[in-house]
Amino acid sequence: MALSRQTRYRLLEIFLLFAAAIAAAFLLVNLLNPSRSTLYLYLSGLSFTASLLLFLRVLLDPDRVRASQSDAMLRLASDTLKSLSTEGLTLGGAQEVCERMLPATSAIAVAITDKEKIIGYAGRDKKYNEIGAPIRTAATLATIKEGRTQVLRTQEEVGMPEGSSIRSAIIAPLRMSNETIGALKFYYPSARSLNETEESIAQGYADLLSTQVSAHALKEQRELATSMELKLLQSQINPHFLFNTINTITSLIRTDPEHARELLRDFASFYRSVLENSSDLITLEREIEQTKRYMGFEIARFGEERLQFDVSMKDGTELSLVPAFMVQPLVENAVRHAMPAEGTLHISCTAMRSGADLTVIVEDDGLGMSNDAEARLANGKTTDGLGIAMRNIQERIRGYYGDDSSMEIESEEGRGTRVKLLLKGSCAW
């Protein structure tokens, strides 16, 4: 178990006091019986000196100290990242960070503020620093305004009331981009607790927290942008389906009323799913059902002699969790862009697993595309509905399953297109 710096120094003090007591005992023995104790004292002194040097080497070895500090910092970084990943720098997330950070420092209290109020506090004198209370100290407001770390060595500078055990503090700014968004504060019982090391540690923790807050905000912005693109894609598809499907159902009312009723029920179910919140994971089975509804409308429109669709889900993959609205846009793109002037367009969807990984392949034997068009599509450089759909799918699977997940596109003019989705860990249920 790693010892804190203060604990190591305290142990050293105890060891030296113990050594002084032993030396005094040896001296007393020598005075009482010089002839017997001289050699004993000499040998014991050598033994004691060797033990002391070994103790100091183990306890204060710079590499050992640095390794211990690095390990503590990494563990703290992991813990605070867990707190911020769900909450962000809110009341709940900030409070968790304070509680995790306090044992890793020599401070007696840790606080976090935003620009206006206390959003986290752990340690002594909590009654003077209620969460949600407005910032009342000039030093904290100055840190936020000026964006620089301050070291406070008196109770008056700290701004604590009489009766508080806090006598000194280090206040470091929390930044996101170029803006100061709050402060991280470490409180101590006296000015003797403050030195360059403590200031460096406080600044390091503030930089760590600032980086994590910025990363969390970036993740939120990315998720929002992805969600907005998804909504845009849905709004583009809605009119496309609306008129074609209604016209198909209308024409079938006279020639095949039963089929028209089935399509109308599927049409209602399809749009209900499209209009629902599509930010959550759903089973692959449910996503395929939505895709089959879509293909039912298109097959009714074009006829079975022009369009066919096959599905193969192997190894129990139907229970795998996938982002909603993932397979259906790929199949729709095949219908819209790969349909030949004559003959039948065959589209297939195959799902298989390898360990905990899920692979989904959507393939057609249609018109295909040039190498140039394929490269632009794979790189997300197209801005039409097809490009938005492909980029959105790629970003969402990476957002859910990590950067090792991928989307690969292979196409050849006149031979068709193959889109392969790899979702790492999707089958880990």
Per-residue confidence band for 74, with pLDDT thresholds at 50, 70 and 90: very low
Identify the pLDDT of residue 302.
Answer: 92
Amino acid at 16: L
DSSP state letter for 105: S
Sign of the dihedral defined by the CA atoms of residues 33, 36, 39, 44, in that order:
negative
Identify the pLDDT of residue 281.
Answer: 83
Per-residue confidence band for 337, with pLDDT thresholds at 50, 70 and 90: confident
d(CA 289, CA 291): 5
Identify the pLDDT of residue 226.
Answer: 54
Spell 137-162 as b/e; 16+ CB within 10 A means b.
bebbbebbeeeebbbbbebebbbbee
CB 349 within 8 A of CB 311: yes
CB 309 within 8 A of CB 299: yes
Between 177 and 83, the higher pLDDT residue: 177
- Asked if pLDDT for residue 344 goes beyond 60, the answer is yes
Alpha helices by DSSP H, listed for 61-112, are 62-87, 91-101
- The kind and range of the H/E element at 176 are strand 168-176
Three-state secondary structure of 316-382: CHHHCEEECCCCHHHHHHHHHHHCCCCCCEEEEEEEEEECCEEEEEEEECCCCCCHHHHHHHHCCCC
Tell me the pLDDT of the chain averaged across its residues. Answer: 76
Most confident of 26-30, 69-73, 102-106, 350-354: 350-354
Q: What is the pLDDT of residues 242-281, one digit of tens each?
A: 778 888 888 888 888 888 888 888 888 887 776 665 556 8
Residue tagged 């692979």 (tokens): 359
- Asked if pLDDT for residue 69 goes beyond 50, the answer is no
d(CA 386, CA 105): 53
d(CA 159, CA 168): 10
What percent of the chain is predicted at pLDDT more than 90? 25
**Domain coordinates of the chain in residue numbers?**
5-60, 65-194, 219-423
- Asked if pLDDT for residue 79 goes beyond 70, the answer is no
- Asked if pLDDT for residue 13 goes beyond 60, the answer is no
Identify the pLDDT of residue 65.
Answer: 44
One fold for 65-194 and 219-423: no
SS3 253: helix
Q: What is the pLDDT of residues 355-410, one digit of tens each?
A: 889 999 999 999 988 877 777 676 655 555 566 778 888 888 888 888 889 899 99
d(CA 134, CA 115): 9
The CATH number of the structural domain formed by 65-194 is: 3.30.450.40
Identify the pLDDT of residue 196.
Answer: 80
Structure tokens at 13: 């003090």
Structure tokens at 240: 């496309």
CA-based nearest residue to 411, from 403, 400, 420: 420
- What's the rounded mean pLDDT across residues 153-179? 86
d(CA 40, CA 26): 9
Strands 321-323 and 416-423: unpaired
Q: What is the pLDDT of residues 281-307, one digit of tens each?
A: 889 999 999 999 999 999 999 999 999
What percent of the chain is predicted at pLDDT more than 70? 67
- Asked if pLDDT for residue 346 goes beyond 90, the answer is yes
Overall pTM surpassing 0.85 (yes/no): no
d(CA 319, CA 359): 13
- Asked if pLDDT for residue 76 goes beyond 70, the answer is no
DSSP state letter for 19: H
CA-based nearest residue to 94, from 74, 122, 115: 122
Q: Write down the architecture of domain 219-423 according to CATH.
A: 2-Layer Sandwich (3.30)
